[in-house]
Structure 1
Amino acid sequence: MSFTLAKTERLAAILSQTPVIPVLTFSDAKSGLETAKALRDGGLTVLEVTMRTPKALEALKAIVDEVEGVTVGAGTILEPEHVQQAIESGASFLVSPGSSSRLLGAASEAPVPWLPGVSTVSEAMQLSERGATFAKFFPAGPAGGPAFLKSLVAPLPELHFVPTGGIDMSNVQDYLKLRNVACCGGSWVAPQDAIDAGDWGKIQSLAKEAAALKAR
């Protein structure tokens, strides 16, 4: 089994801390530190740093080492080597846009929980067969949105989702009200233009608004 009870419980505890997980892309460690502090001060304490830039791991490690009160995961995990790199940088959980046999093998051996992505019923069933209780639903908007997830409640009642992609304050509550949604992921709480401009006040304000949301 790829998903152990211990790691599933740890992931459940992480996801239950927040209605929204900011999905973050950093070009340097300094912007990562300041963004993380602004999000934390706004009430969002679970963060996903995507592995999309050369400085991503450096930013993740800096946040883990220097920003108290946050739980930091590594996103856009695509290869087995990414798993080890993220763990060495201090990631508390891993997130992928999809899943593969190679990733399943690497993630099953990792000491931290993994949130794999799905966008179809077949993918969701395959993960459920392996013991998964949580999956990222990506890209949420193009893949069917809230209506798609609502249709999975009856056939897959044990599987819960973290929809990500195409979500903002205009539609996030449509997801959070669903029984099978644990929380949502999104970049709107820390827009790239605000990060680039160093507008930490704007990010804190957006985080405060998102933190006030309630799941179900």
Structure 2
Amino acid sequence: MTTLEPSQPGISMADKIALIDRICGQARILPVITIAREQDILPLADALAAGGLKTLEVTLRSEHGLTAIRLLREQRPELCVGAGTVLDRSMLAAVEQAGAQFVVTPGCTQDILEAGVESPLPLLPGISSASEIMMGYALGYRRFKLFPAEISGGAAAIKAFGGPFGEVRFCPTGGVNPGNVKQYMALANVMCVGGTWMLDSSWIKNGEWARVQACSAQALALLD
């Protein structure tokens, strides 16, 4: 089992935190993907990977989300493929069966947080307030997605959270772009960022995979 593979049932929260750290540390920028057409799954993933983005969050915002996760795990085992927009236990169970290697939620409820504790997959809960961090913290979570990041206070909010929550680190998503990505990544309590600016819908619709690749490479170059 590689360091990016899901662990077996009974994995501790500490081990899940360490796994999230490895996943996010390798990713730095996590493309948040919504698949509109099944035919785009492999060429889009290949273009992102060619640009250096090899850790992907495939959302369940379309009917092709689970198909994409299954196909990528089967056909592109070198990539790290997570599931996004997971809203409840049934969706969590579905992405586990599809082979997702990590799970991201846009928000948190007590039920989904508890389901994440029970799951063999590491879960990155979405939060936008200190109270939500505390809900997760009480169950052992120390890694969160700030969403929607810019609307929820952006880099200033994450810096402020560092005071009361010294052990917590974040993946800000929502409004992250080439103009502010360095500001986020400069924060000690940011482990990676989620973004969509390398996923222009017209490029994907027209099969302009070279543009996706170039934009992905440029995104990573901003952090060097």
TM-score by length of 1: 0.94
Deviations 1:123-159 (A, max 9, x none): 1122222211210000001100111111111211100
Aligned partner of 2:131 in structure 1 is 122
Matched, 1:181 2:195: no
Deviations 1:161-207 (A, max 9, x none): 00000111011111000011000001112122221111100100011
RMSD of equivalent CA atoms: 1.5
> Which stretches in structure 1 are left out of the alignment for 5+ residues?
none
Distance 1:18 1:103 in 2: 24
Distance 2:223 2:143 in 1: 18
Contact 1:18 1:211 in 2 (8 A): no
Q: How many residues align?
A: 214
Post-superposition offset of 1:7:
1.4
Contact 1:32 1:60 in 2 (8 A): no
Aligned partner of 1:66 in structure 2 is 75
Distance 2:114 2:164 in 1: 26
Distance 2:134 2:218 in 1: 34
Matched, 1:93 2:102: yes
Matched, 1:24 2:41: no
- Corresponding residue SS for 2:163: coil
- Corresponding residue SS for 2:27: coil
Distance 1:3 1:210 in 2: 34
Contact 2:128 2:147 in 1 (8 A): yes
Runs of 4+ that moved beyond 6 A: none
Letter in 2 for 1:176: M
Post-superposition offset of 1:68:
4.0
Contact 2:114 2:139 in 1 (8 A): no
Letter in 1 for 2:152: A
Deviations 1:28-49 (A, max 9, x none): 3321111110011110111000
Mapping of residues 98-109 of structure 1, within 5 Å: 98-109=107-118
Matched, 1:41 2:50: yes
Letter in 1 for 2:133: A
Aligned partner of 1:144 in structure 2 is 153
- Corresponding residue SS for 2:171: strand
Letter in 2 for 1:165: G
Aligned partner of 1:55 in structure 2 is 64
Matched, 1:202 2:208: no
Distance 1:31 1:3 in 2: 36
- Corresponding residue SS for 2:26: coil
Contact 1:72 1:92 in 2 (8 A): yes
Letter in 1 for 2:149: A
Distance 2:70 2:206 in 1: 22
Distance 2:60 2:89 in 1: 13
Contact 2:42 2:72 in 1 (8 A): yes
Contact 1:38 1:203 in 2 (8 A): yes
Deviations 1:42-68 (A, max 9, x none): 101110000011111111211111124
Answer with 56-65 or 110-119: which moved more: 56-65
Contact 2:113 2:136 in 1 (8 A): no
Distance 1:50 1:40 in 2: 17
